[in-house]
Amino acid sequence: MNFNITTDKLSEIKSDLEIIIVIDGDLKHKFIQDKKLLKKAGFKAGQDEVCLLLEKNRLYVGSETLKGVGIRSAVATALRSLLGKKYKTVKIATYLSHPKCTASLRAAVEGVVLGAYTFTTYKSKKIKSRIKNIQISTEGYGDNYEVSLEAMARAVHNGDIAGSATNFTRDIVNTTPDDCYPEIMANIAEDLAKNSSLKCKILKPKELRKEKMETLLAVARASRHKPRVIHLAHKPKDPVAVISLVGKGLTYDSGGLSLKPADYMVGMKSDKSGGSAVLGIMKAISEMNLPVEVHGFVGAVENMIGGDAYKPDDVLVAKNGKTIEIRNTDAEGRLVLADTLCYAQQEVKADYLFDFATLTGACVVGVGHYTSGVMGNADEPKDLVVNLAAQAGELATKLDFNRHLKKTIKSEIADVCNISNTRYGGAITAGQFLAEFIDEDHKDKWAHIDIAGPAFVEHAWAENPHGASGAGVRMMLRLIEKIARTAKTD
């Protein structure tokens, strides 16, 4: 899809269709040319409400606000409504929430890319967006915009990269477990490196044993697909900061010997969402060429059943030497992350360390399908995630650790237990388990992001389709961009 910014008025631009966003139900705005027809159609311009006037070649969509959170969702919904239709060129005005800020423009571009997404790999009849060109006029919905063409071009460029990286992540998550297993995730990472400035290192079982990553290896033991640990690195000259990202890449999770009920196994291809997000973020970081050194680590494993499966009552030794009592083999993601986090900290001394995981159903129970839970030992990294998630149009909230819940993962026979002795507070106790594998150097630089809720939802919502959403990609891009900007101004 091609984006073009033009100083031509909307009336001067030739296109198959014009998209008009109606802000806060204001059907009296000068941009609204079809007031009578819209009234006749019963169009109220609620958030994401769409009205296509075929005879006018105009598509109206409502947004409650000029801010990015509303614009992104509205534009994505508009694009989704055009899937399978024959429109190839679209024109749209510039919508800014502030005369000097291009955030809403970037959100609109992200909305175009995200809304045009389809996953049709397994469909015999493929319905896709036919739109090839988006003409963005500098003619504004509001008055007195003071942004330069250069700033607008940068917003469009970054919005396109962020949306495309999110869709790249969605594709990996949506791919079935028979077609995406640890070796395939490693191949994806290697292909990324071949086509970019990224550096890639893959650890196979022999190297994993050498690194004493025994908890990760235990989870992988019963699968015919051997595990991989992926390390992608973006190393610009004179970086302003160093950030490590760690992702849970469970390409499929049966629950192991603590077998999931049948209904709970459906959708477990999504258990690689954290690792997939890390791959998507690294893709975008390399394309933006940000002046921040970023390392992406993925623990890619399949958790299956068999005669060689690890068992409840086993005691495993993690890479940092801590012993773990296994009481449930379906609490496997935290075991994979434990070793991968230790490896990441060994390889890189980072200014910030973030991990992404579809870690607990408890997080979904606690905050719903659409929100990520953010945990850690210190407020600064957690606040960074929550604040920048909001700017990116993702929902995230802090779930604070407390000493009383920490007692529930105490083991009588090992250093720590892999599940809590209570059914309550499961997202937090999983986070506190991970904290056992964060070293002193990174203790206050780390945040754990549980994306179990938003990563995979079986209905469309806002800018997200059925299935994978690419949760975590846009929020982390905004966070890394902010760190880059802040360092430049210091």
Active-site residue set: 260, 334
Please name the residue that has the structure tokens 């060429």: 289
464-478 burial by CB neighbour count: b if 16+ within 10 A, else e? bbebbbbbbbbbbbb
Q: How far apart are CA 158 and CA 47, in angstroms?
A: 25
* Secondary structure (3-state) at 59: strand
Dihedral angle sign, alpha carbons of residues 99, 101, 104, 109: positive
What phi and psi values does residue 49 have, to the nearest 5 degrees? Answer: -75, 135
Instruction: Tally helices (H) and strands (E) across the chain.
Output: 15, 19
Is the CB of residue 22 less than 8 Å from the CB of residue 29? yes
- Token pair in block for residue 245: 């990202």
Measure CA 120 to chain center: 20
Residue 91 makes CB contacts below 8 A (sequence gap 6+) with 10, 13, 15, 17, 18, 19, 134, 135, 136, 137
3 state SS of 303: strand
Q: 351-375 as b/e, with b when 16 or more CB fall inside 10 Å?
A: bbbbbbbbbbebbbebbebbbbbbb
In 3-state terms, what secondary structure has residue 45? coil
Cα angle: 479, vertex 480, 481; to 5 degrees: 90
As to burial, measured by CB atoms within 10 angstroms (0-12 exposed, 13-18 middle, 19+ buried), residue 238 is: exposed
- Which run of H or E residues covers position 91? strand 89-94
End-to-end CA distance of the chain: 37
Nearest alpha-carbon partner for 186 in 283, 332, 282, 299 = 299
Under a CB-based contact definition with an 8 Å cutoff, are residues 260 and 458 in contact? no
Alpha-carbon gap, residue 65 to 23, rounded angstroms: 6
Report how far residue 460's alpha carbon sits from residue 117's, in angstroms, rounded to the nearest whole number. Answer: 12
